[in-house]
Amino acid sequence: MNYRRLGKTGLKVSEFSYGSWVTFSFQFGVDTAIELMKFAYDHGVNFFDNAEAYAGGDAEIIMGKAIKKLGWNRDTFIISSKVFWGGEKPTQRGLNHKHIIDCCNTALKRMQVDYLDLYFCHRPDPETPIEETVRAMHTLIMQGKICYWGTSEWSATDIKQAYKVSRELGLTPPSMEQPEYNMFNRDKVEDEYLNLFDNEKLGTTIWSPLASGLLTGKYIDGMPEVGRTTLENYKFIKDMFESDEYIERHEKVKKLFQLGIDLNIPLVNIALCWCLKNKNVSTVILGASKLDQLKQNLNSVDYMKDVDDAVMHQVESILMNKPK
């Protein structure tokens, strides 16, 4: 496993990390979480991603129990949470000072840790001034409850405003953003954020590198009977895959899958290496629900040299969607 700095911080994150969205609680419980997290950790993964919204908080509880059972030293791993969707009441949502503090304290209890390494604003909140959000995050850093704070799916404009407010008021600026990034979702990372990468050295912890499984090739022949597309809470993924918009994507996946066969490199590994080829990606969050999937995902480190410039060119000739 190789490690990259998280933006301009001194924190080194593993190139591949492991997340709990969709899988924890909805697809498995503590025992499987222990199995998968242990395998990831033993193979160099040091960052484990979570959020208050994942399974209504159950994902944090499961991860906390797994970490306690595994008995890892706290200084050997990085753990995160995100704040925005905590409940139905007005005080349980958004990025106001109160909810940011409450969410952090709840995450610490659920995951049975004294502090969070990374704490993300899960989405922008148009009803809360950015200054209020920045102050709350700075407060938590000063209290030692979080080490770094960042954003997720924020616009470049809002992130720049957070930096501006931080400088004007002498507060801690964001260190990272968590955007969706894969072969079919490229605009933010490859275009919109470029100025932030150049001027602020913003770190990224990218999610959905396999486009919710589309880039594994397992949907080429239709929807499987078991998987995340069959989960009631994630029916939107199935609807998305079956939409007219995705017809072109399915055709491209077929060509990419054949390219993998020709190169003797599985499509899943090409797709993950493709993400890491971008120097502005700090870490790629994996969401495997089975051990064999996680093993194959992590095997991507062995294919990085094989996915060279020539292969990247072949991929681009199929995708034809590079931001201008």
54 is a catalytic site residue = yes
φ, ψ of residue 265 to 5 degrees: the values are: -130, 120
- The number of beta carbons lying within 10 Å of the beta carbon of residue 71 is 6
CA distance 96 to 132: 7
Q: At what angle do helices 291-298 and 30-42 cross, to 10 degrees?
A: 20
User: Cβ-count burial of 209 within 10 angstroms (0-12 exposed, 13-18 middle, 19+ buried)?
Assistant: buried
Tell me the chain's radius of gyration from C-alpha atoms: 19
Measured CA to CA in angstroms, residue 324 lies from 120, 181, 186, 196, 254 at distances of 29, 16, 11, 17, 25
Measured CA to CA in angstroms, residue 182 lies from 70, 89, 170, 276, 304 at distances of 32, 34, 35, 10, 16
Bridge-based pairing state of the strands 16-19 and 12-14: unpaired
Residue that has been written with the tokens 């959905």 in this structure: 208
| Residue 91 · residue 97 · CB < 8 Å | no
Number of H helices, E strands in the chain: 12, 10
Select which of 18, 41, 54, 234 is catalytic: 54
| Residue 4 · residue 282 · CB < 8 Å | yes
> Which residues are marked as active site?
54
